[in-house]
Amino acid sequence: MDARVKETRSDPAAPAASTDAAAGLAPRTDGAAERVTPMMAQFIEIKTANPGSLLFYRMGDFYELFFEDAEIASRALGIVLTKRGKHLGEDIPMCGVPVERAEEYLNKLIACGHRVSVCEQTENPAEAKKRGPKSVVRRDVVRLVTPGTLTEDALLDARRDNALAAVARVRGSEGEDGYLYALAWADISTGGFRVAETDAVRLAADLARIEPAELLLADAVYEEPLLRPIWRTLPAVTPLPKESFDGASAERRLAGFFQVATVDAFGSFTRAELAAAAAIVAYIERTQLGARPPLGRPQRESAADAMVIDPATRTNLEILRTTTGERTGTLCAAVDRTVTAAGARLLARRLAEPLTDPVRIAARLDGVEHLVEESGLRTGLRERLAGVPDLARALSRVALARSGPRDLAAIGRGLSEGGAIAELIGASPAPAELANAARALVGVDPALALTLGAALADELPLNRRDGGFTRAGYSAELDATRAMRDESRRVVAALERRYAEETGVKSLKIRHNAVLGYFVEVSQQNADKLREPPFDAIFVHRQTMAGAMRFTSTELAELEAKIASAGERALALEQGIFDTLAAAVLVEADAIRACAEALAVIDVAAGFARLAVDEGHVRPEVDGGLDFSITGGRHPVVEQALRRDGGPFVANDCELSPPDNARSGRIWLVTGPNMAGKSTFLRQNALIAILAQAGAFVPARAARIGVVDRLFSRVGAADDLARGRSTFMVEMVETAAILNQATERSLVILDEIGRGTATFDGLSIAWASLENLHEVNRCRGLFATHFHELTALSQRLTRLVNATVKVKEWEGDVIFLHEVVPGAADRSYGIQVAKLAGLPPAVVARARAVLTELENADRAAPTQRILDDLPLFAALNRAPAADAAPAAKADPAAQAVKTALEGIDPDEMTPREALEALYRLKAAARG
């Protein structure tokens, strides 16, 4: 492909390059210029002006792609690559997709990470012919399709947001790396627009919460080595020139987009927040080519508003997606009882960002409790909500001039249902959240829904260009024009019958096509009759086919003109009606968007209420304390799966509240065999915290939870080979993040820390980590382990509680009871589990023998010595006081051990020499 049409940068709005392509000339090696066809010259000019994307070039009923675009698209779409003419002496690759199926192909290209410029014909071919027989129909790009700017239902997941996000970085003193960071994200398909401060440490967690379909970054930020690992986890990242994040012009760009004099009325924003928000609106203006989606004004979020959940924790807990990327099997799927697309999206947002304000949490719980108690209201609301279309996304398409009659009808139907729902809620006193939502439902002018209902027919076409969507009786002028059009068609049928009778050709037909218009068609055998007197004076030959001949007549031509005129006039009148209705909708855009949000709130509350009734969930007590007390807690996903298989779920208590006179919560050290249910127990308590702070009832008999500010979960094993990280390295990175960030208000879930390395290495890491959580982080936590030596720490870590999962042995086999009780496991039953897994009997027998020998070594003695002699982890971090007394004289035995150790080189020792050295050290320690 010629260098002039290659993708040169990722900015889809980059200015056109100054090349000969704009003039339709292609450079040659001999210095001359090769003329290209006018059509190809136009393509090259448009492509050069829109680099960084595949160009869908409209030609009749197809979007065609040429050169490298065609090669890329043919591979991605699995369509045939053909050729059209030559350029620079070589064949021009070409492929195309039908306009009617364009959304299907766009979806595939976007999913593959491509961006697409849609180039449409902007004039009729007849107008082009007026400029000359070789004139090319004018075309121009009408839209740039990117992952974060989709609005069509066919390209979107109805149950997920489609966020376009931007990260801005400005120099400042607050950031740990000398920068201030901010995030802005908007969904142009629904109108939501939010901004928030962040930092380099929290950025990954914030992006995992938002899950942007596309992220905008300044080039320098994109190339930042410390941040590159974050960008690699995202589906689509678009680097932009630094001017896109210019803080000096940010306020002006935002004010211009929202058509206000100043953004002060929107609230107080930092420089970084303004830069991120301005980058969002500038990108939207570029990709939508001036069309303005109905974005709400940017709402500022505080960093303390939502529970922080890092990416690893989201993956481990499978909140919105399983580890394989599916929705089935997630927390969201298990608790979703919504009946609208908007409700499903709001539910996902609430689970992704649970609140940390007890007052706001209580307001949500009040609404759910009201609908749990009022079963008739709950049922009535859900029946009404089931008929509510996706108002927000229909409104966005109207604003962007991409809507059809069905979008207008959806808005009218949604507003009508919203009014009925408001009446249901207002029939009796309702909690604040439901009452506020009901008021938003009646904030739209009621005349709009009536007008839309009166104007639109019951059966609607998909596209406005097809016409036929206006209800009969709405417009007298349109009705009269339609009557003329329809009467003319009946005249055609009558004319056909008359011609057949007069000529005696019973098979004579009057047909129509786009090239000839209306024509008379007869078989070759009957054609001579129309070419002989007296019919030769009436019929004029137009076209000879293999088995037929076509004629026209003056009368038929005049009738065609009348029909065309009436049909075009009727279609034009309908287009005008559509534009008038769309304009009326946009006048109420803000109120319609508020109505859509209110319907989603009601749907989520009603869905949570239905879930509580169906699954036996209870209202949690959520406050500002440090309690975490769960009675009879259950795992919402596992419980439902077991029920489908006919098995019971064993409920368990969890008490992490601070002990008497303590100012920090407990840590439970959970031991027990694999397959006994430790991981399920750990996860279920984390999920209960998420549900409670999202505003849902929880799967338990009772729950009292002090707000969790950060949730950490390190459960399961996984590697990251793409970044050169082994399973153990990933485990250590995630553990390090927990130990560096957890606070006393956090909830930490840790499973099998240290298992990925040598036994004593792992035990040492787990030991030190547990001490750090208890003494430094002082958080509430669940720590599952197979290192039974750690249970001895409860002797001196006052808030550490040993718990174990009960099992029974029967004739050499183990029976899992899945019941968590106080105490410690004496062994892991790993061999019994291995036997259940199907290991060969010889392997199982040999493992039992080896285990017996190892257990005879009695590893308890070293553990007790560590407890007796080593200071606590926290003591190791404390500097000695200035007036501390001089150290006592060194113990002779300790000095002898130190001397012996200095003479040992472990790397040069054989196993036997190492064992002998260990005995010498033991003797030296005894003095």
User: Binding site membership for ATP: which residues?
Assistant: 672-679
Residue 188 C-beta-side C-alpha neighbours within 13 Å: 28
Annotated binding site: 672-679
Report d(CA 603, CA 619) in Å as an integer. 18
∠ CA 271-272-275, rounded to 5°: 90
Tokens (6 digits) for 883 = 């007036």
- Supply the Cα-derived Rg of the chain in whole angstroms: 36
Give me the DSSP letters along 637-694.
HHHHHHHHTT-----EEEE-SPPTT-SS--EEEEE--TTSSHHHHHHHHHHHHHHHHH
Which of 745, 755, 748 shows the shortest CA–CA distance to 669? 748
Report d(CA 354, CA 368) in Å as an integer. 16
Number of neighbours of residue 518 by Cβ within 10 angstroms? 19
Report d(CA 301, CA 381) in Å as an integer. 31
Tokens (6 digits) for 713 = 């979960």
Q: Hey, which residues does 239 pair with through a beta bridge?
A: 217
Q: Hey, which residues does 739 pair with through a beta bridge?
A: none
- Helix, strand, coil % over all residues of the chain, rounded to 5: 50, 20, 35
Report d(CA 193, CA 741) in Å as an integer. 29
Tokens (6 digits) for 1 = 């492909």
Give me the DSSP letters along 540-558.
EEEEE-SSEEEEEEHHHHH
* Total residue count of the chain as it appears in this document: 927
Report d(CA 384, CA 416) in Å as an integer. 10
Place of tokens 């003591």: 875
Report d(CA 354, CA 708) in Å as an integer. 9
Q: Hey, which residues does 169 pair with through a beta bridge?
A: 181
Which of 163, 127, 139 shows the shortest CA–CA distance to 46? 139
Place of tokens 């992704």: 352
Which of 9, 6, 815 shows the shortest CA–CA distance to 21? 6
